A and B are shown apart, each in its own frame.
Chain A
Amino acid sequence: DAGVIQSPRHEVTEMGQEVTLRCKPISGHNSLFWYRQTMMRGLELLIYFNNNVPIDDSGMPEDRFSAKMPNASFSTLKIQPSEPRDSAVYFCASSSTRGGQPQHFGDGTRLSIL
């Protein structure tokens, strides 16, 4: 099993630039989650999808953040324009909705906005 695949692993860019983070969930998993982790705020759920449909985006901090899941094997999290306070580690996770299955996390993208 390939696991959840995120890219890039690291991203450094200047403020104002558009940033796109990518995620490939585990095949067969129908739920996908995007998290942000910072020292100050810990692990925050940004948005999650079920069967490619966004279910809850109440954790998305601002309109500058958007996420899409065009098909069952791909999702993106976009920040436009980026700001230094967006610097964080962004995780994607996927799970099956069958009884109590855990979420499986990708290795995360460390994003640094200069």
Chain B
Amino acid sequence: AQTVTQSQPEMSVQEAETVTLSCTYDTSESDYYLFWYKQPPSRQMILVIRQEAYKQQNATENRFSVNFQKAAKSFSLKISDSQLGDAAMYFCAYRSTIKIQGAQKLVFGQGTRLTINP
């Protein structure tokens, strides 16, 4: 079974600085998808970014980018020019391409709580 590990329970960064959140995963599959979700205090789960394992190019979404190292099974999230609104719990998630009776579930990490210092 796949596992996802976020080794940093908490991180903090000064506003306008850059921060990197770590995520590693374990799988024997060669094709899969990886996601970062953000959960602010409002408790909504918001998709931040998605990466397909077969793509070598790292995904980017405005100030958010990933460093995807397939051989190392690492999928870190970089937030540039941190803003107060970035304060949230961040979850890394893995999704297999193999469907079980047509469905694919997500495997989540434990989350990293990010604090932005003004």
Contacts and interface: CB of A to CB of B under 8 A. Distances in A.
Interface stretch (B16-24, B45-53, B66-74): B45-53
B43 A56 contact: no
Contacts of A53: 101
B47 A50 contact: no
Interface string B34-70: 0101000011111100101000000000000000000
Given A100-B33, A102-B47, A107-B43, A51 B102 contact: yes
Contact of B45 (A30, A99, A105, A110): A105
Nearest to A9: B43
A45 B47 CA distance: 17
Nearest to B43: A108
Interface residues of B, number: 25
Nearest to A49: B103
A97 B104 contact: yes
A19 interface: no
A51 B100 CA distance: 12
A91 B45 contact: yes
11 contacts: A42-B110, A48-B105, A50-B103, A53-B101, A55-B100, A89-B43, A93-B45, A97-B99, A100-B33, A104-B47, A105-B44
Interface of B: 33, 35, 37, 42-47, 50, 52, 91, 95, 97, 99-106, 108, 110-111
